[in-house]
Chains A and B, each alone.
Chain A
């Protein structure tokens, strides 16, 4: 867990929410501390994406309250939120005729001057983000030519350039091959450990979650049913009750009877 024990990055108190009056997330209490690295897992329809939308203010809760770094989310406008939370979307389509650096520069939108656009400091942040994600050799390339893995890295670079203390990712490894999955998870670890950013990632791959995040939140039916290190949160009971699988059918993991090295 994090070093800064007392600071809360995102806090939820009795939060419910959903679409069109149908609650998907039900009375959730959650605290994510500054510097946490959290994987959010759960079966399809558990409410993972809805939880992310609530935390980022895209939808308003029907009950409860959400705070970001001590400020009620409802008091923040979009730009305020964007300076605090960067979001890497799942499968964002990229625009036509755009180069890698032009897309990464979009991360500076919450900071740039509305009239003059990018200033030197913004340009420096874009360069740094491109380096950070390891996209240096793709500068000048059209995003249409990139592989899916490279596109995902571009979107992560956008979030890095956004320079927000909290980074939220929605299934950042979906559609990626194993090499890219590991690269992305390593990058998240680095952003967390090296920069001290709070990282929250929805993951569908339990193995990846177990392997690379210190804290796992398990959602089921709109509620948090487990929260803790993978060893505890992804134990055999959770696997059976939430994911409806017999741990014996799975490769070795925290859920296995004989605990595997994480």
Chain B
């Protein structure tokens, strides 16, 4: 999560409010820690059934091949239905993953606004006006663009206030929230239905599924090393929570994830880490300047198997976890880190999903 543009200055100098102020300072710390992790970090929703690994045979949502695609009523991941009278021509994407999905599905030319994306992907989306940042969504700008569909992130990805506001102004807002690989494929199908690109969505999901299957086949039977995936090192060490998409991805890549033991807590106690003794440390926070050398020098870490074996590898965290078309690429990165001996076919069967947009 990028840091809040925050200030507690308005909570100011009054002594009577010092506790609140101190608390804010502390929470800023916490946020900064999260910030160093990565962009969207979906966690499992509380009611998740905990099925960590998507069934290998999971098919993306049934393709509504039966034509007239519009009008259509779709149910977003927040349970709210959205009715679209016609194929939307002015789409605003409020999650970086959805921006990638829309471009991959060939709907990029209809994207009139997007949320800021630190990865700036895909390059074709570079010139799309930014209507939202982590600090807020510019509803006025969205209205001014003549938007007829907003795709927003669920579970706090897009501020609920902004979603409510847009809906009160009669703008259809489709909320997507993928907590795992299966959810990502389902959201791609949902997006396809919303923008009139169902066939493309089905094809993309199928190709991604094929990519997952390919990886599963390649890593089958290999021993699963214990992997600690670091998501932040300030002020404490942050790892990955139980049942998070990270844990699922590492499992799919043929590793055994070391998690914090809680579905909500991302802070990793050093004692627990030493006890778990990872064979491999993957630095999801490498984009924030954390290096293998620095990790090896941390007090108390020298005894870890991974440190002794110099198995500390940086990774592009965004590709590993962004619930979009490049998730397969992310999985391949993880396989390369966890099982360097496994040789994957150089590309997915019918071309890289990310490049499949037409």
Q: Per the CB under 8 Å rule, do A and B touch in the complex?
A: no
- Measuring CB to CB, which residues of chain A are less than 8 angstroms from any residue of chain B? none
- Measuring CB to CB, which residues of chain B are less than 8 angstroms from any residue of chain A? none
